[in-house]
């Protein structure tokens, strides 16, 4: 073997793993054989997001270790084997399975264990803790028989644990010793607001309660007795009353530990033995145990720097600011939230109606931000944190930072105001300077920047700030993103839409003459064609519009690879009678079409030639069908489940609503295709949350989801409004769709449209629901115009001789295209492959 | 010229294309009423998409070239040279086309890319000689 030294890491939790990842990224790794012991049966996973385990996240998804990490970096991993003793004289670590490793350097990342108060009965059945995946599995097992769950501890972790109990469907209680929730991070008013919001979610909060005994319950497995004489029946008791450092190994080998536990470390994270480091929740620095992951990560990086010989990079404490979403409630705490600093001044804003509480703690001279509390609305967190951490001078009226602003004025801190040293991502310690270097080196997209710097890949809280730094840097570099639609129009689609609307322009040639140049192209022509259609709704095959139409619109059918077409009649809501189905089958049979069911609950008929299209539609229209617009960038289908008329679980009549919506919006031309769905209950069989517009029935009315899609980059829709009656629902969708049609870019689905919007979902809500721009009436009117002028494009076409002339392969012959060759497969046709076309010769140069 | 009568001008679609069968060949004819030539004719076969569809593409101009965009995969073919703007090695036949007395006529003897091919090969030969 080489002259490599051996480095042993005890503990493969989040911090232990972060240490390994930082180490293997450093050149110093080549000096060490790395060995790690992991007591748990699986390597490091994300404890911060543990409660998502109950909402479908698997143990594998929680994992923080990439497949093959240990093998790739030649790290010996002893999984499910606990380090049992350390012999500092012999410099060895011995595991409980008897493996003995000699070390040169040792890193203790043993973490912490949940503190269980020494209450009588704390070890009874179904008295559990909340830290590992195994703990979660025990909770899930207990929840199968139990109905009530109680968390002891109303801190950060306790609230997370309460969410887990709630997700398991239990009646959930929180019992807290202190007089308020999150007593460490929040002031009294903040704690009260949080309590109010949590209680609204159905969690029962008991504060100022001292548990004195846990004993047999009458209705439940357990009964908790409190010092004030009150009692609480509960099946599960979940202790989440803080953590205690795992320092027993260190204690046993004589390392210095704190009075109340914790392995004492210096600024280099070294213990009292210079060859042994301690990092994370087991370490005691300056009398403090850090129970958050970011300081642990910082310690891990300090050790790597120390091994590299960089003794200037020491651990100097960590910021304990936090921002999180607890059961959907935004909560954030920054710095000195309790205003304990000398002379500190407090500004606070409380809005009981909207359930928002904000508090600023500033220095005596009102120049610097010392701390803040945000409950109910935490969008200002990044800005405030930057003020606080970088000592940036506050604006003249600091209260503006927490007061709601009515106009568009932004009081946010622009990225330019931040110094290069400002830490943007505290999970991975990425400064603004580091981001700027990466941007200069060519990372010009958010994704590239994230991959290159790891910023925003931890908790993700800094992603908005990262994006604004990126945009501002790109603007400084003079990288100007050209937003012109194409060489013919120096406008965006949104601007063209406005021109068409305001100047009442009704044809492409007019628009080109007034605002464009050249002849146009396959980008601007269909875009303008779509704008004209959504604004004036004339038939798209009228003489003025014909040449604008993209491949499929051009012949009102979907062109396939061999130049033949597929036909999709509308089947509203996916409801079809046997007679209609038979009619459809007869047409398919007569024209020998390949038939397939689509994902949108319709039937697609393939292999129709140009001359067959009008004949097919004549029969379909006679049978009562109309165009399905599968060829257009327009509303496709409103998918539905069978709903309350048949389903045992149905809450409302999803089919009727789907049919009504599909009939309302059919024919609407838009920047890209629009898909909708309606589910009759929260089982969500119609997959509404994967659609641009999704509706789910609840006991209280319809819940509206928007901006979801499937396809290449699937995205779940966001909840937009809840408990709507039908009238309000339709009004909201009218506005939403009209606004999308007006303002989206060409070929931009609703998801990307919303994500690129400054202010995102909240802004969209303010425009659509609160009518912030005063556009609502216009948007509704626009939709009504489209609805009132609907026509079945195929019906109009087959009734107009002049339009039908084009539906022949040859303008001067009744011959058909001899390049269209079908073969049979599974009893139906399909286009012949090249090797099957023996008789066909290309037109060659003679 | 050897003109073949194809159809009436009224059979054409303004600012769009139709396909005609001329001497056994599928010819895409594009009608731009405002243009100096008025009509353009190229082969209807899309050599990239491998289907007879070019007459159904959108016409326009890209950097000064009058083009049709294939309705299948959107490559641009120059209406005057037959060259594909995305790949100069791919070409489609170009035919002479005119409007005479309200009738559309096509000469199916190639004017391009044959002429180009001859020109390039002649140039190459000359270079070869001089070298």
What DSSP string describes A817-835? -TT--EEEETTEEEEPPGG
Which secondary-structure segment (H or E) carries B77? strand B76-78
pLDDT in tens, A656-682: 999 999 999 999 999 999 999 999 999
pLDDT at A346: 93
A75 close to A167: Cβ distance less than 8 angstroms? no
- Residue B69 scores a pLDDT above 60: yes
- The gap from C-alpha B130 to its chain's centroid, in whole angstroms, comes to 34
ipTM: 0.88
What number of H helices and E strands is found in chain A?
26, 38
Burial B43-55 (b: 16+ CB within 10 A, else e): bbbbbbbbbbbbb
In chain B, where the domains are located: 4-130
Best B71, B105, B109 residue to mutate vs chain A (most A CBs within 10 Å): B71
Question: Chain-centre distance of CA A195, in angstroms?
Answer: 26
**Confidence at residue B119, expressed as pLDDT on a 0 to 100 scale:** 46
Q: pTM for this structure? A: 0.55
pLDDT of residue A481: 57
Torsion angle of alpha carbons A743, A746, A747, A750, nearest 10°? -10
Spatial CA neighbour of A425 closest among A459, A380, A468:
A459
3-state secondary structure of A790: coil
Q: How far apart are CA A583 and CA A36, in angstroms?
A: 69
Q: Do the chains contact at A843 and B43, CB–CB below 8 Å?
A: yes
The predicted structure's pLDDT at residue A405: 61
CB distance B43 to B31 below 8 Å: no
Residue B63, judged by CB atoms within 10 A of its CB (0-12, 13-18, 19+), counts as: exposed
Per mean pLDDT, which range of A542-551, B41-50, B104-113, B118-127 is the poorest?
B118-127
Is residue A753 within 8 A of residue A740, CB to CB? The reply is: yes
Query: What distance in Å separates the CA atoms of residue A283 and residue A108, rounded to the nearest whole number?
Result: 8
| Min distance A434 CA to chain B CA atoms (Å) | 39
Q: Which of A547, A549, A805 sits opposite B14 (nearest CB)?
A: A547
Q: Residue A607 region, left (φ>0) first, then alpha (ψ -120 to 50), else beta? A: left
Who among A519, A520, A819 is closest to B52 (CB)?
A: A819
B60 contacts in A (CB within 8 Å)? 488, 518-522, 524-525
Q: Which two tokens stand for residue A218?
A: 């009458």
Q: How many helices (H) and strands (E) does chain B have?
A: 1, 13
pLDDT lower than 70: segments of chain A: 1-2, 54-56, 311-312, 405-414, 458-461, 478-482, 838-846
What DSSP designation does A545 have? H
Smallest CA-to-CA distance from A189 within A330, A375, A27, A17 is with A375
| Whether residue B113 has a cis bond before it, omega within 30° of 0 | yes
Each residue's pLDDT tens digit, A147-167: 999 999 998 888 888 888 888
Question: Could you give the CA distance from residue A359 to residue A380 in angstroms, rounded to a whole number?
Answer: 12
Chain B residues touching A518 at Cβ < 8 A = 60-61
Round to whole Å and give the CA distance between B40 and B32. Answer: 8
**Which residues in chain A touch residue B13, judged by CB atoms under 8 angstroms apart?**
546-547, 806
The minimal CB distance from B13 to the residues A522, A546, A559 is found for: A546
Question: Considering the domain B4-130 in this protein, what is its CATH number?
Answer: 2.102.10.10
Neighbouring residues of A549: CB distance < 8 A, sequence distance ≥ 6: A525, A526, A529, A540, A541, B58
Provide the number of CB pairs (under 8 Å) joining chain A to chain B.
104
- Bridge partners of residue A32, in order along the sequence: A5
**What Å distances lie between residue A437 and A371, A414, A433, A452, CA to CA?**
30, 19, 6, 11
Check CB contact under 8 Å for B69 and A562: no
CA B105 to CA A585: how far, in whole Å? 43
Q: How far is CA A284 from CA A16, A256, A473, in A?
A: 16, 10, 40
Nearest to A170 by CA among A133, A119, A221, A207: A221
* B119 vs A596 pLDDT, higher one: A596
- Identify the contact set of chain A against chain B, taking CB-CB distances under 8 A: 487-488, 518-522, 524-526, 543, 546-551, 554-555, 559, 561-563, 805-806, 809-813, 815, 817, 819, 834, 842-843, 845
- Cα dihedral A558, A562, A563, A569, rounded to 10, equals -30
Residue of A nearest to B113 (CA): A845
CA A822 centroid distance within chain: 45
């Amino acid at each position: 073997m080489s002259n490599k030294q051996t480095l042993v890491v005890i503990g493969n939790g989040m911090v232990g793993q972060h240490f390994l990842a930082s180490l293997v990224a450093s050149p110093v790794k080549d000096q060490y054989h790395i060995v790690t012991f992991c007591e748990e049966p699986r390597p490091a996973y994300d404890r911060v997001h543990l409660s998502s385990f109950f909402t479908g996240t698997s143990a594998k998804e929680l994992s923080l270790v990439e497949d093959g990490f240990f093998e790739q970096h030649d790290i010996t991993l002893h999984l499910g084997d606990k380090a049992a003793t350390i012999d500092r004289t012999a410099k060895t670590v011995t595991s409980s399975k008897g493996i003995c490793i000699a070390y040169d350097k040792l890193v203790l990342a043993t973490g912490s264990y949940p503190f269980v108060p020494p209450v009588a009965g704390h070890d009874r059945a179904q008295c559990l803790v909340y830290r590992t995946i195994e703990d979660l599995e025990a909770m899930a097992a207990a929840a199968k028989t139990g109905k009530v769950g109680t968390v002891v501890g109303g801190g950060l972790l306790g609230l997370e644990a309460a969410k887990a109990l709630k997700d398991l469907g239990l009646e959930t209680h929180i019992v807290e010793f202190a007089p308020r929730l999150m007593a460490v991070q929040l002031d009294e008013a903040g704690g009260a607001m949080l309590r109010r919001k949590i209680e609204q979610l159905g969690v029962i909060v008991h504060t100022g309660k001292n548990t004195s005994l846990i004993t047999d319950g009458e209705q439940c497995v357990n009964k908790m007795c409190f010092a004030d004489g009150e009692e609480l029946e509960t099946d599960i008791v979940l202790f989440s009353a803080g953590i205690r450092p795992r320092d027993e190994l260190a204690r046993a080998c004589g390392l210095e530990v704190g009075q109340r536990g914790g392995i004492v470390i210096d600024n280099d994270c070294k213990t009292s033995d210079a060859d042994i480091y301690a990092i994370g929740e087991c370490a005691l620095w300056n009398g403090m145990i850090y129970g958050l992951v970011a300081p642990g990560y910082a310690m891990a990086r300090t050790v790597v720097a120390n091994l590299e010989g960089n003794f200037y990079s020491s651990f100097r404490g960590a910021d304990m600011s936090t921002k999180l979403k607890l059961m959907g409630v935004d909560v954030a705490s920054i710095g000195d939230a309790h205003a304990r600093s000398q002379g500190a001044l407090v500004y606070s804003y409380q809005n009981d109606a909207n359930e928002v509480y904000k508090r600023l703690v500033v220095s005596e001279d009102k120049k610097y931000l010392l701390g803040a509390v945000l409950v109910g609305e935490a969008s200002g967190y990044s800005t405030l944190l930057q003020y606080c951490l970088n000592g940036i001078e506050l604006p003249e009226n600091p209260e503006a930072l927490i007061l709601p602003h009515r106009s568009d004025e932004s009081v946010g801190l622009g990225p330019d105001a931040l110094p290069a040293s400002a830490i943007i991502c505290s999970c991975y310690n990425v400064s603004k300077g580091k981001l700027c270097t990466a941007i200069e080196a060519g990372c010009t997209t958010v994704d590239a920047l994230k991959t290159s710097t790891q910023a925003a890949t931890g908790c993700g809280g800094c992603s908005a700030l990262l994006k604004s730094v990126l945009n501002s840097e790109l603007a400084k570099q003079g990288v100007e993103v050209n937003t012109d639609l194409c060489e013919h129009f120096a406008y965006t689609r949104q601007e063209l839409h406005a021109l068409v609307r305001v100047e009442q322009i009704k044809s492409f040639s007019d628009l080109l003459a007034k605002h464009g140049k050249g002849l146009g192209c396959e980008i601007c022509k269909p875009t303008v064609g779509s704008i004209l259609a959504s604004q004036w709704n004339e038939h798209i095959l009228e003489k003025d519009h014909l040449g604008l139409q993209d491949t499929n619109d051009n012949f009102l059918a979907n062109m396939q690879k061999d130049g033949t077409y597929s036909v999709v009649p509308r089947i509203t809501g996916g409801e079809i009678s046997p007679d209609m189905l038979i009619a459809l089958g007869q047409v398919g049979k007569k024209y020998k079409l390949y038939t397939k069911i689509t994902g949108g609950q319709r039937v697609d008929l393939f292999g129709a030639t140009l001359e067959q299209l009008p004949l097919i539609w004549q029969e379909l229209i006679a049978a009562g069908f109309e165009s399905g617009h599968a060829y257009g960038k327009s509303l496709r289908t409103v998918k539905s489940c069978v709903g309350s008329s048949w389903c045992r679980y149905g809450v409302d009549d999803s089919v009727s609503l789907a049919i009504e919506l599909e009939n309302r919006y059919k024919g609407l031309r838009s920047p890209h295709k629009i898909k909708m769905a309606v589910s009759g209950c929260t089982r969500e069989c119609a997959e509404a949350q994967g659609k641009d517009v999704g509706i789910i029935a609840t006991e209280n009315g319809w819940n509206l989801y928007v901006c979801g899609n499937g396809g290449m980059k699937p995205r779940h829709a966001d909840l937009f409004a809840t408990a709507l009656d039908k009238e309000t629902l339709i009004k909201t969708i009218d506005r939403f769709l009209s606004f999308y049609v007006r303002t989206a870019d060409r070929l931009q689905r609703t998801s990307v449209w919303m994500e690129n919007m400054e202010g995102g979902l909240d802004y969209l809500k303010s425009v659509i629901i609160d009518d912030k721009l005063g556009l609502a009436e216009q948007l509704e009117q626009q939709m009504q115009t489209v609805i009132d002028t609907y026509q079945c494009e195929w019906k109009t076409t087959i009734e107009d001789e002049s339009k039908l002339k084009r539906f022949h392969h040859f303008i001067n012959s009744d011959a058909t295209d001899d390049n269209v060759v079908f073969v049979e497969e599974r009893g139906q046709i399909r286009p012949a492959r090249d090797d099957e076309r023996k008789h066909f010769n290309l037109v060659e140069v003679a | 010229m050897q003109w073949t009568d194809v159809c009436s001008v009224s059979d054409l679609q303004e600012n769009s294309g139709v396909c005609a069968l001329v001497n056994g060949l599928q010819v895409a004819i594009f009608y731009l009423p405002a243009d100096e030539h008025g009509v353009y004719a190229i082969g209807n076969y899309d050599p990239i998409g491998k289907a007879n569809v070019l007459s159904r593409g959108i016409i326009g101009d890209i950097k000064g070239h009058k083009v049709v965009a294939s309705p299948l995969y959107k490559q641009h073919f120059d209406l005057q040279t037959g060259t594909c703007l995305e790949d100069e090695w791919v070409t489609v036949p170009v035919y002479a086309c005119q409007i005479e007395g309200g009738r559309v006529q096509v000469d199916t003897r190639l004017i391009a890319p044959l002429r180009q091919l001859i020109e390039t090969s002649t140039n190459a030969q000359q270079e070869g000689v001089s070298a």
